[in-house]
Structure 1
Amino acid sequence: MTDLDRLSAYDYALPPELIAHEPAERRDASRLMLVDRAAGAIRHETFPALVDQFRPGDCLILNDTRVLPAKLHGFRTATGGKWDGLFLREDSPGRWILIGQTRGRLQEGETLDLVSSDPAVATPLRVTLAERRDGGEWLAEPHSTDSFLSLLDRYGAVPLPPYIERAEERAEDRERYQTRFARHPGSVAAPTAGLHFTDDVLAAIRAKGIEIGYVTLHVGLGTFRPVSAEQLADHAMHSEWCGLPEETSALIQRTRAAEGRVVAVGTTSVRTLESAAAAQNVDAGELAPWSGDTRLFIRPPYRFRVVDAMLTNFHLPKSTLIVLVCARAGYDLTMQAYREAVENRYRFFSYGDAMFIQ
């Protein structure tokens, strides 16, 4: 019997050539695995077939976070040593939280000169490292009164996952590593299950009478950090901000009253909805607006209060994301689905194919 409390249970063999380094030619050209929990059945389709999976009364919940051009490159002012890092968030106006790497040990009070990949931006942005924080983070102060969004737009690049190797940012990256419905800037990684949706697919879903609601979860540093503890109970999730607006909580209440299903797109939407329910200690029919930081780690066994079905991509072995999928679909069915995905040459990870669990 598999010990589902151990990280090693969530490993699988993935041929490296199945990792998608480029997006599909069209967003909706990806493949779609349909996983039926009740029947224990798996079918293989293409993404537009998702439209046919909705039932009258269902609703669709999307994460409308917008990915920041958060990847930064520069040099230590004093030594000229190379520095590469990420903007994580604005702590307060004019005070950033950064993480990065360089040779040697950075000192409080030291400055960095951030450079742009845009030849039109010739002057570096100087940043003072004001305070060392836990987890390798720095409180930094840019020498500019411009907004952080304006500065990142000039000096930042798309924070593609580390396994997608790019010598430099491509013009199309800023559009393709962003959902069509992204509105609220704040993420350092895309909610990748949403990348498959085109305006036509969303219109087809609405044409079936399916209402669409939005939540926001700003994907943070935890996306890049592997699970280091073998016992899942010992793993501390990185905090991420999320919010459930009033119109979406009202939609979910209507959906539950009509005996429809709440269909969540991506693990980020799932965690937002379940975090809101856990914070209020209610189920979907009583869910009220909510916002706050979440460290919710969904792992087997877990009772879902809100989410009835979910769309997700294929995730890294031994990640918190595949653990969440196992909690939703069941361990044995999830691992069978991953074996079939490998056998059928599905594309994996951020730019890969999708799985619909119902």
Structure 2
Amino acid sequence: MKVSDFDYYLPEELIAQHPADRRDESRLLVYNREIKNVEHRVFKDIVEYLRPGDCLVINDTKVIPARLLGNREDTGGKMEFVLLNQKEDDIWEVLVKPGKRAKIGTVFVFGDGLLKAEIIDTTDAGGRIVKFKYEGIFEEVLDKIGIMPLPPYIHEPLKDRDRYQTVYAKYDGSAAAPTAGLHFTEELLNEIHNIGIDIAHITLHVGLGTFRPVKVDNIEEHKMHSEIYHVTEEAANMINNTKKRGGRVIAVGTTSCRTLETIGGEDGYVHAGSGETDIFIYPGYKFKIIDGLVTNFHLPQSTLIMLVSALASREEILSIYKTAVDMKYRFFSFGDAMFIF
């Protein structure tokens, strides 16, 4: 299967540059796989498609202001870091730009000296391992001088940093938001809970690899980036009890989906735990856990549209995307959503 098989035409003006005025009033395309029916709704209408006994699985990771702009200590040359993941205390893997300035032993300064970083190693993917030096608490320093690492296709500044967080974001660690969750408000989640639907919290820290293009022709040769997940016994029991009583497990976002399919056994049940996942889901994959997916509209030729095309068929998804383009849905991180079940 070729990467080009997942291409589609998207006018640039349909790439959302800012969030909807209200989270739950973005548009919602609903696709029923069984009867192959498409409906066009508003996101808060999703309650009409959920059933008592279902379980909604949400990713409670929190985006950190992972983009740092600074200078080389000795020459003053400009440098940009994006934090990817924490290796140990004060040691992080980062993306650097420009890379030619980030040689081992070089020191960079951020926030007028609030934060310093020394390059101590390189990575196979072209990143760097750095050791940070600062006074106080790292998270507080980062909150003062860091910038939200918006995707490269968003060119307008973010006026409200909270709009790139879900309302249930809890655990620091992501370099990008689990964007399907951006549509939920606390009121909508309460309404969903009150009609008898369980809400399970899991954590997968989203890396910037989610935006990296697939660089091979055959998708089977693509190597996914690795991301860290945590699933508690409470969440696993909630999901498994849903399965036992015949309810549906509905993943909010591809991150929740990938986590569930990673921890799922062939018996159709999940197992609590922590680890890293590099699972790559594309057409031909047999889902073990999820019965439905809430997701945004994804980039052409991306691993995310491949995942969605595994839940429905590639032909169905491309047809749905063409409909979404024709009806001027808003695409990508700040765009509209679809619910597939």
TM range (shorter): over 0.9
Q: 1:184 — aligned with what? A: 171
Q: 2:275 — aligned with what? A: 292
d(CA) in 2 for partners of 1:295, 1:169: 30
d(CA) in 1 for partners of 2:7, 2:238: 37
Contact residue 114 and residue 141 of structure 2 kept, 8 A:
no
Shift of residue 151, structure 1, vs aligned partner = 2.4
Shift of residue 145, structure 1, vs aligned partner = 4.9
Contact residue 283 and residue 306 of structure 1 kept, 8 A:
no
d(CA) in 2 for partners of 1:241, 1:75: 30
Aligned structure 1 segments of 4 or more residues deviating by more than 6 angstroms: none
The equivalent position to 2:62 in structure 1, one of 62, 66, 71, is 66
SS at match of 1:182: coil
Contact residue 215 and residue 244 of structure 1 kept, 8 A:
yes
Contact residue 114 and residue 134 of structure 2 kept, 8 A:
no
Deviates more, 1:122-131 or 1:16-25: 122-131
Percent identical pairs in the alignment equals 45
What do residues 158-196 of structure 1 show as CA deviations (whole Å, max 9, x unaligned)? 111111124x663x1x21000000011100000000000
SS at match of 1:356: strand
Q: 2:110 — aligned with what? A: 114
Q: 1:10 — aligned with what? A: 6
Q: 2:267 — aligned with what? A: 283
Deviates more, 1:30-39 or 1:248-257: 248-257
The letter for the 1-side match of 2:115 is L
The equivalent position to 1:42 in structure 2, one of 26, 38, 41, is 38
d(CA) in 1 for partners of 2:266, 2:172: 29
The equivalent position to 2:223 in structure 1, one of 219, 227, 236, is 236
The letter for the 2-side match of 1:349 is F
d(CA) in 2 for partners of 1:96, 1:155: 17
d(CA) in 1 for partners of 2:285, 2:177: 25
The letter for the 2-side match of 1:265 is V
Contact residue 346 and residue 353 of structure 1 kept, 8 A:
yes
Q: 2:298 — aligned with what? A: 315
Shift of residue 226, structure 1, vs aligned partner = 0.9
Aligned length: 341
Deviates more, 1:145-154 or 1:32-41: 145-154
Contact residue 96 and residue 102 of structure 2 kept, 8 A:
no
Q: 1:128 — aligned with what? A: 118
Contact residue 64 and residue 184 of structure 1 kept, 8 A:
yes
d(CA) in 2 for partners of 1:252, 1:141: 39
* Structure 1 vs Structure 2 CA RMSD: 1.4
Shift of residue 290, structure 1, vs aligned partner = 2.1
Distance 1:287 1:169, change over 3 A: closer
SS at match of 1:151: helix
Q: 1:33 — aligned with what? A: 29
d(CA) in 2 for partners of 1:343, 1:259: 37
The equivalent position to 1:246 in structure 2, one of 214, 233, 237, is 233
Q: 1:157 — aligned with what? A: 147
Structure 2 residue 186 is the aligned partner of structure 1 residue 199: yes
SS at match of 2:102: coil
Q: 2:314 — aligned with what? A: 331
SS at match of 2:134: coil
d(CA) in 2 for partners of 1:282, 1:33: 31
SS at match of 1:190: coil
What do residues 6-52 of structure 1 show as CA deviations (whole Å, max 9, x unaligned)? 10000000000000001000001100000010111111001011011
What do residues 78-136 of structure 1 show as CA deviations (whole Å, max 9, x unaligned)? 22111112011221112122111127443210111112xxxxxx544221111122212
d(CA) in 2 for partners of 1:146, 1:8: 49
What do residues 273-316 of structure 1 show as CA deviations (whole Å, max 9, x unaligned)? 00001xxx3333x3221221001000110110000001000000
Contact residue 81 and residue 103 of structure 1 kept, 8 A:
no
Contact residue 261 and residue 308 of structure 1 kept, 8 A:
yes
